[in-house]
Structure 1
Amino acid sequence: MPGWVLIIARSLIFLLLVFLTTKLLGKKQISELNFFEYVAGITIGSIAGEVVTGLESNAYHGALAIIVFGLITFMADFLSLKSKKFRDVMDGRGAVVIKDGKVLEENLKKEKYTIDELSALLRQKDIFRIADVEFAVLEPKGNLSAMLKKENRPLTPKDLQMKTANEKEPQTVIMDGKILDEALRSSGKSRGWLTTELEKLGVTLDNVFIGQVDSYGELTIDIYDDKLQVASPQQRPLLMAMLKKTHADLELFSLATNCEESKDMYMKNAAIVQNSIDQLAPYLNG
């Protein structure tokens, strides 16, 4: 058999074998690896390459070596799940490298990281001053976890004691100009509603690249023609504006009347509308 035919045959066989072995080992082989998995992955690839191109070598021995390394890696992952001590040996432990805005030089040296490499990891998290960091840990996978000091953290609605509405997963109801009926049903909408919303936006179905219904029941779309401007949904802002106008009208009516009974009625209803505005604001604003 010619050498090039043998190489093609071995390539196909061992590509399939390596794929099946990697599939057995799981997704960690294509994501973040620990030291052992990294070494095992390189070794398996090297063995496969040597067997495929080495025409005088024994293909069965190469296949056996790949299977052995695959089983060893599988057992190492299994033991890591069962034993904390074994996991610490295989994966290592996180090392604190910054505490109270100060770099712990000894821990940094143990991990063989320079201050330039630490600064680069911080910049990837949009942190440019070490003094702003309350706590930073170099994880076993090599990534950095950092917590800013309280005064340097971005404000959240909770910090401002603001109520916010719960967000749900948006449903993609249009894709490539076609309606996805299952997603439309999941969003609690019908084809008639979708047609009406598209008419309000002034677009046709076949010009919609993707359309989604958010947790507020509003339709947002992206169309093929990027030059065409599509209006944003206005239902919530319009409803908020209507409530505020109603509140203002009730207060105006109470000031315009001389009847104390009517004045009390208007003020009482104005308070009810204002209470509704306060409760609905997280849902209607934005």
Structure 2
Amino acid sequence: MPETLLVFIRSVLAFVWLFFLTRLVGRKQVSELSFTEYVVGITIGSIAAQASTDPQNRFLDGVVGVAVWALAAVGLSYVQLKSKAARKFIEGEPIVVIARGKISKQGLRQARLSTSELMDLLRQRDVFDLQQVDWALLETDGQLTVLKKPEYQPLTPKTAGLPSESGGLPRVVVADGEVLTDALRAAGKDRTWLQRELAREGVDDVREVMLAQVVDNRLHVYRRAPSRKG
């Protein structure tokens, strides 16, 4: 068998194998990965790449290697889920870098951060003035969590003494002119209500609607742009 064809077949098989393993391991954004999970991911990718492109290595060895690392990742996740001590040992704990408006030198040393790097992380959280910060913690995934002082926090109905009520999760009930029955039912509405609300918006035919959402028990309609003729 030509070597190029062999690499192609091995690569396809490795991709399929990795796909099933990633479904087993679970879904996480790259920014949410712990350092251990990041290392495991790189190692699995490296083993899979070598198994795909190096005919000198047995493909089965690569399959077994990837499976072992993937199962190790699943095992670590299970242990962390069941044991707080294990989770603390494997992932560590958030580090306080600003406490009561003051930079913690001990926290910076523990996190191996300079003040310049801290300010860079604050700017990524839309904080440009250190005086606005009450507490800041460096999370185990490297993200910075910031709690602003009360006078710099955004105004909410509760702080303003106004009544507030949650309307539930926004639901897309019409997409590309088609009514999404399950979403409409989940929003606690029916087609009669939808037709009435569309009529209020001047919509005679649901096919005129590009998108419609139920937000806070109200229908928000986005109509299709009129087609140009000629």
User: 1:150: which partner in 2?
Assistant: 150
C-alpha separation in 1, matches of 2:159 and 2:124: 25
Task: Point out the more displaced range, 199-208 or 148-157.
Answer: 199-208
* TM-score normalised per structure 1: 0.71
Give the alignment of 1:1-286 within 5 angstroms.
1-28=1-28, 32-187=32-187, 189-203=189-203, 204-216=205-217, 218-225=218-225
CA RMSD after TM alignment? 2.3
In structure 2, relative to structure 1, the CA distance for the partners of 1:190 and 1:156 (3 Å cut) is closer
SS in 2 for 1:27: coil
**Larger Cα-atom Rg:** 1
> Could you list the per-position Cα deviations for residues 254-275 of structure 1 after superposition, in whole angstroms to 9, with x for gaps in the alignment?
xxxxxxxxxxxxxxxxxxxxxx
Instruction: Tell me, in whole angstroms, the C-alpha distance in 2 between the residues paired with 1:162 and 1:9.
Output: 64
**Structure 1's 185 and 18: CA in aligned 2 closer, same or farther, altered over 3 A?**
closer
CA distance in 1, matches of 2:59, 2:27: 27
Give the Cα separation in 1 of the matches to 2:29 and 2:216.
Answer: 36
Alpha-carbon contact 1:29-1:37 (below 8 Å) kept: no
**Aligned amino acid, residue 8 of structure 1:** F
Q: Is the 8 A contact 2:135 2:148 kept in 1?
A: yes
40-49 vs 201-210, which moves further? 201-210
Q: Which residue does 1:240 correspond to in 2?
A: none
- Seq. identity, %: 37
- Give me the whole-angstrom Cα distance separating, in 2, the residues matched to 1:67 and 1:103: 44
* Cα gap change, 1:13 to 1:131, in 2 (>3 Å): same
What CA deviation, in whole Å up to 9, does each residue of 1:52-80 have, x standing for no partner? 11111122222221122122222222221
Evaluate the alpha carbon distance shift between residue 124 and residue 226 of structure 1 in structure 2; reply closer, same or farther with a 3 A threshold. farther
State whether residues 175 and 211 of structure 1, in contact with CA within 8 Å, keep that contact through their aligned partners in structure 2: yes
1:65-102, Cα deviation, whole Å (9 max, x unpaired)? 11221222222222212222221121011111001221
SS in structure 2 at match of 1:122? helix
SS of aligned partner of 2:98: strand
Q: CA separation in 2, counterparts of 1:119 and 1:220?
A: 40
Residues 200 and 129 of structure 1: CA distance in aligned 2, closer, same or farther (over 3 Å): same
Q: How high is the TM-score relative to the length of structure 2?
A: 0.87
Q: Report if aligned partners of 1:48, 1:66 keep a CA contact under 8 Å in 2.
A: yes
Q: How far is the alpha carbon of 1:189 from its aligned partner?
A: 4.6
Pick 1 or 2: higher relative contact order, CA cutoff 8 A, min separation 6: 2
8 A Cα contact 1:29 1:41, kept in partner: no
User: In structure 2, how many angstroms separate the alpha carbons of the residues matched to 1:80 and 1:117?
Assistant: 30
Q: Aligned equivalents of 1:191 and 1:85: distance in 2?
A: 52
User: Which residues of structure 2 form unaligned runs of 5+?
Assistant: none
Say if 1:141 and 1:209 are closer, same or farther in 2 by CA, change over 3 A: same
Q: Which amino acid aligns with 2:211?
A: I
CA distance in 1, matches of 2:61, 2:194: 62
Cα distance change of structure 1 residues 65 and 147 upon mapping to structure 2, 3 Å threshold: same
Q: Report which of the two has the higher share of helix.
A: 1
